[in-house]
Structure 1
Amino acid sequence: MEGHSTCVLHSLHRLSTDIQRMERELKMTKDDTLVRIQLLEDKLGGIVEGAGSISSVLNPDQRVRHIFDQMATGLNNQVDTKTDILGAISNTLHRELKKVISAVEMQENQRTNMKEVDDSNAQKIYALEQTLRVTDAKIIEIEQKLMDNNPLLSYNGVLIWKFTDFLRKQQEAQQGGNVSHYSISFLTSQFGYKMCARLYPNGDGMGKGTHLSVYIALMKGEYDALQEWPFKQRVTFCLMNQERGAHVVDSFRPDPTNFSFRRPQSNMNIASGCPLFVRLDALFSPGNGLLKDDTIFLKIIVDSTDICDPSSPVDSTAAKA
């Protein structure tokens, strides 16, 4: 019986010791929890409003729950605030985007309208150019008919062209009027090549605005079938000095590959020659004798020494062959 009592006392002592140890551990855990809660409150003080004043009357579990409730409320408030700000920014951007889209659509409509106007103007310009070409062709045809009826027609490949009213014609060309003029037609012989000269008083091509340009243009003749093609005779232009001074002379030999010197298929081939014949400032220089009384004299010489004259006697041997 005594041994049993001793065992019971021993067990009670162990239990008391365990309880004391557990109490110490619980106290340590409680203190540690309180420290952790305090740290959490300190860290979250900027988010949780009024945590310090309320936490003093709450137990640890309530304090933790209260902290997290306050933290969730604070975060939700911050999220709501930022959401409102982002919503306002989004609305502003949306309004600005609508303005940009509207401006772009307006510019696109303006561009479309301008393109339609440009297309319409281009068609009108093209129609006017076609009308001018037809008119120019008719003028050339009339001029050539007048030339063909001219009693002064030359048959030796030499033409002296008296070109009057030079200043007026040069100013007219500067203003976009009649930029060129044709001479009367002339032939290398009675049955030879037919041609005329073309003069640009304000220049053409590389010489536009700076030089007097002169060209030769082959014309369709009655005896073209008897000529040698392409045309290859040397052509000389001579601007004659009216004061017995030095003439201005330039010449060229036709390029056989140039269609200007093939047999004419229409009334007249494209003219070709000397776009840089003489500088306008030299032409207008006082006392040089090239331009006098508003008149120039242009001499055109076609070398006909080696041209086979269809009117020459036929060789009897060739005839028998």
Structure 2
Amino acid sequence: MPGFSVKLKGEGTDPKYCCSSCGLLLNEPRQTSCGHRYCKSCLEELKRAIGGQFQTCMVPSCGKQIKAEDVFPDKAIEREINNIPVVCNNDDDGCKWEGPLKQLKFHRDECEYEKIGCIHSECKEKIPRRALSTHLAENCAFRSEICRWCKEPHPFKDIAKHQESCPMAPARCKWCGKKGLTRSQLQDHQHPQSGDCPNMKQPCHFEPVGCQEKLERKQHGHGEQQTITAHLNMVRDILRQLLGTNVVGLRDQDVEALENMRAVIPEIYKSIKELENEIHGATTSGRGVSKELENRVEQIRAKIEDVIKKLAASEPRVETIERVVAVLNREIEKCSSQMEAYERQRRQDREIIETLERKVRSLERIIALKDVALAEQDLRIQTLELTSYDGVLTWKIADFTRKRHDGITGKTASFYSTCFFTSGTGYKMCARIYLNGDGMGKGTHVSLFFVVMRGHYDGLLRWPFRQKVTFMLLDQNDREHVIDAFRPDPTSSSFQRPTSDMNIASGCPLFVPLSQLDSSSHAYVRDDTMYLRVIVDTSDLD
């Protein structure tokens, strides 16, 4: 990510703390050979933008070539930046926090004025952390609201719409006026077949021929007697449509219409029978029906019989079509069976593949654990090969230039030697070196320290540690070794019996000047390698 966008306490920041690319406070600062500084991400973005190679410094007055091997982390500047005093980014909203930059992130994770997202993923609002509870309780459109009728939770924004159709909402029958029903009970109450509403309106018996009238149950007989003429006219219109159809010339797509006509004819017969009964009933009750009406019924019956004859003539063609359809249905069923078999096989194959994948992952984990165990064994063997048991440590420091550069930049200020012992059951010790110095020797001397470590046989040894310790920097020309020695202070915690893995290091912060390492008259560093020797006096040990 680019530099820090923060609000500083007091005056503006020193330009040396700003990125030469984005202009913000440096984030993971990197220094180039020309002395300018960039954020780590800005430098990587610059590298990507120009095809994977650095070009020139972006500072207009510089223009020097940047090389990847000359770019290194600037830990000193990073520590200074982390201690720059800043105020909270939410100070305009009322936050009074102020402190070093390194604590800003932790503060913002709990700042009451920081704007955060609602816990409901559908809600896109950003609200201050302090107002989140109020937002969730009163303002969020997606907060949960309980329906007062069905007692089920729904999003607040949908509750009104839900209540318009809630099956448990109270309802009243508009036909009979019955109260105390829910919406779902009202549907059962008004069901056309199973409902118990006495005033329920049901379709007319002549609905199949086009009558849209709906009557109450008790009105069905009386109402249909009053509309006999209208019902006969509807029957007449249907028959005209039927007689106008070229039944003999039916095509494949007319088979469905033919089946519909077959279904309509019994309904028409039923309607005619009901009409005849109503006509006789009306005559008996004193309502005269004209002779012309009876003649029309006879004409309708004759026309229906004519339609039936035409349908009978088209039956062979319909049967042929039905046989073809049956063959096609069998083929479709056969294809469906094959597809189901293929699908079952595919699922089985998929399960086998997944099982094998799980086995491979398991074997990979086992191999990884074995690799770790082998690496630990190799490290243990190497340590044993380098371990001495006579109180003398000869320490080879290879790759000296890189390690010294790491010490200068702060990447690795110090490192430890392998452990060594005064005897097989004696004191366990190691050395610690700062190639760029530590404390009063930082930047001017190599600092070398002696460390007492916790061993397996500490309970058998004499404490505090009292043995004389001698440090030697070996001249590889075998002329003039650098030698320093000291006797432990019995009162120092560094030489008491260890209670942790190792005690605090103690030794020589001014062991050898850095300038002396580069002396042409000595070979303290040759082939990028330095040799040190630590000698512990064991003469008074049993």
TM bucket, shorter chain: 0.5 to 0.7
Q: CA-to-partner distance for each residue in 1:195-242, whole Å, 9 max, x for gaps?
A: 001111111111111101111111111110011111011100010110
* Amino acid paired to 2:464: P
Residue 150 of structure 1 deviates from its aligned partner by 2.2
Give the AA of the match of 2:393.
L
Find out whether 1:192 has 2:173 as its counterpart: no
| 1:157-207: CA deviation from partner (whole Å, max 9, x where unpaired) | 001101111111111111111111111100001110000011111111111
Deviations 1:108-157 (A, max 9, x none): xx9854873535623769xxxxxxxxxxxxxxxx9xx7489422310000
More helix by share: 1
Pairwise CA distance, 1:274? 0.5
CA distance, structure 2, for counterparts of residue 232 and residue 112 of structure 1: 53
User: How far apart in 1 are the matches of 2:514 and 2:87?
Assistant: 46
Query: 1:111 and 1:233, CA in 2 relative to 1: closer, same or farther beyond 3 A?
Result: closer
1:299 and 1:124 map into 2 onto residues whose CA distance is 46
1:170 to 401, 404, 410: 404
**2:475 aligned partner:** 241
Q: CA RMSD in A?
A: 2.7
Aligned ranges 1:1-321 → 2 under 5 Å: 113=88, 116=97, 118-119=99-100, 121-122=102-103, 146=380, 149-307=383-541, 309=542
Q: Distance in 2 between matches of 1:124 and 1:214?
A: 38
Q: Residues 236 and 111 from structure 1, CA distance in 2 versus in 1: closer, same or farther, beyond 3 angstroms?
A: closer
Does 116-125 or 213-222 show the bigger shift? 116-125
Distance 2:98 2:398 in 1: 43
- How far the C-alpha of 1:303 sits from its partner, in A, is 0.4
Deviations 1:219-273 (A, max 9, x none): 1111100111110111000101101211000000011111010001111111110
1:294 to partner: Cα distance: 1.2
- 3-state SS of paired residue (1:286): coil
Name the amino acid aligned to 2:99.
D
Paired with 1:149 and 1:281, the residues of 2 have a C-alpha distance of 32
Distance 1:124 1:191, change over 3 A: farther
3-state SS of 1:232 partner: coil
Q: Bigger radius of gyration, 1 or 2?
A: 1
Could you tell me how far apart the structure 1 residues matched to 2:86 and 2:382 are?
54
Q: Higher RCO, 1 or 2 (CA under 8 Å, sep at least 6)?
A: 1
What secondary structure is seen at the aligned counterpart in 2 of 1:281?
A: helix
* Alignment check: 8 A CA contact 1:197 1:217 kept: yes
TM-score calculated relative to the size of structure 1: 0.53
Equivalent position amino acid for 2:428 in 1: K
Distance 2:88 2:100 in 1: 10
Q: Is the 8 A contact 1:147 1:185 kept in 2?
A: no
Indicate how the Cα distance of structure 1 residues 119 and 243 shifts in structure 2: closer, same or farther if over 3 A, else same.
Answer: closer
Distance 1:171 1:182 in 2: 17
Q: Secondary structure at the match of 2:450?
A: strand
Aligned to 1:221, what secondary structure does the other structure show? coil
Aligned letter for 1:274?
A: C
- Structure 1 residues 284, 304: closer, same or farther in 2, change over 3 A? same
Per the alignment, in what secondary structure is the counterpart of residue 168 of structure 1?
helix
Distance 1:238 1:262 in 2: 24
Seen in structure 2, the aligned counterparts of structure 1 residues 149 and 162 have a Cα distance that, compared at 3 Å, is closer
Q: Name structure 1 gaps, 5 residues minimum.
A: 1-105, 126-141, 310-321
Shift of 1:288: 1.1
Task: Give 3-state SS (helix, strand or coil) of 1:174's partner.
Answer: helix
Residue deviations 1:10-61 (CA, integer Å, cap 9, x gap)? xxxxxxxxxxxxxxxxxxxxxxxxxxxxxxxxxxxxxxxxxxxxxxxxxxxx
Task: Say if 2:422 and 2:538, in contact at 8 Å, map to a contact too.
Answer: yes
**Cα distance change, pair 147–256 in 1 and its aligned pair in 2 (3 A):** farther
Counterpart-to-counterpart distance in 2, 1:291 and 1:186 = 23
Cα 1:201–1:112 shift into 2, 3 Å: closer
Q: 1:185 to 1:124 in 2, by over 3 A?
A: farther
Q: What is the CA–CA distance in structure 1 between the aligned matches of 2:88 and 2:463, rounded to whole Å?
A: 54
Could you tell me which amino acid in structure 1 is paired with residue 455 of structure 2? G
Query: 2-side partners of 1:282 and 1:306: how far apart?
Result: 35
Is contact 1:200-1:214 (8 Å) kept?
yes
Unaligned stretches of 5+ residues in structure 2: 1-8, 11-84, 90-95, 107-375
Query: Structure 1 CA distance, aligned partners of 2:104 and 2:491?
Result: 35
Shift in alpha-carbon separation, 1:271–1:124, aligned structure 2, 3 A: farther
Give the aligned residue type for 1:272.
Answer: S
The 3-state SS of whatever aligns with 1:202 is: coil
SS in 1 for 2:103: helix
